[in-house]
Structure 1
């Protein structure tokens, strides 16, 4: 079964609201650790990208890269994490993966959403 959709959500816990306008790149990770672009998007006003991938994907290892530098600079006046990178191994048998990130100036966490 192929993966039909990978979505994400970026919430700024430092100000208690979604982080809009953040570019996100999805990469497929090769066995040597290199990444090949598999999709991209920009978080909307609700901090969401509904579908990072334009076509179905095979199960495997992927990387989400959130380019947070401009967002943190404009909202918090400082940047500690210019990028947030999340590596995941997506198994077969599930058509949709939602990978939210909760972030603030000096911390972030992620989980498998629904």
Structure 2
């Protein structure tokens, strides 16, 4: 059975982004329904899959990563209006029978993502 997972790596400090807040939404047209809010553990991961079982269905989703809040918490000096505040990633799940892993590599000024394994 499929599942959705994520993790975040802090590219400034070269470590997992422990303590970063992440929200997951299911998208339906212009509507975004909040499904889950988590705080990442010491390994920069959610303690359990974000979605699995019957809750994991095909469709459009959005993960929102609280990047600026995380880096401020780590003591990084950011302007009042940071370059990156929250990073939204929108993606599709075409086959709910597969594992979808959505990692984020982040700094206050850049990020990248990919479909992980």
TM-score surpassing 0.5?
yes
**Matched length:** 111
Deviations 1:59-96 (A, max 9, x none): 01000011223211132221421101100011125332
CA–CA distance in structure 1, aligned partners of residues 36 and 98 of structure 2: 16
Any conservation in 1 of the 2:25–2:63 contact (CA below 8 Å)? yes
Match among 88, 93, 108 for residue 91 of structure 2: 88
Pairs within 5 Å for 1:24-35: 24-31=22-29, 33-35=30-32
> Which runs of structure 1 show a deviation greater than 4 angstroms over 4 or more consecutive aligned residues?
none
Any conservation in 1 of the 2:24–2:36 contact (CA below 8 Å)? yes
State the match for 1:62 in structure 2.
Answer: 61
State the match for 1:100 in structure 2.
Answer: 103
Taking structure 2 as the reference length, what is the TM-score of the superposition? Answer: 0.84
State the match for 2:8 in structure 1.
Answer: 10
CA–CA distance in structure 2, aligned partners of residues 67 and 28 of structure 1: 18
State the match for 1:36 in structure 2.
Answer: 33
Any conservation in 2 of the 1:25–1:52 contact (CA below 8 Å)? no
Any conservation in 2 of the 1:98–1:112 contact (CA below 8 Å)? yes
State the match for 2:51 in structure 1.
Answer: 53
Query: Structure 1: 5+ residue runs without aligned partners?
Result: none
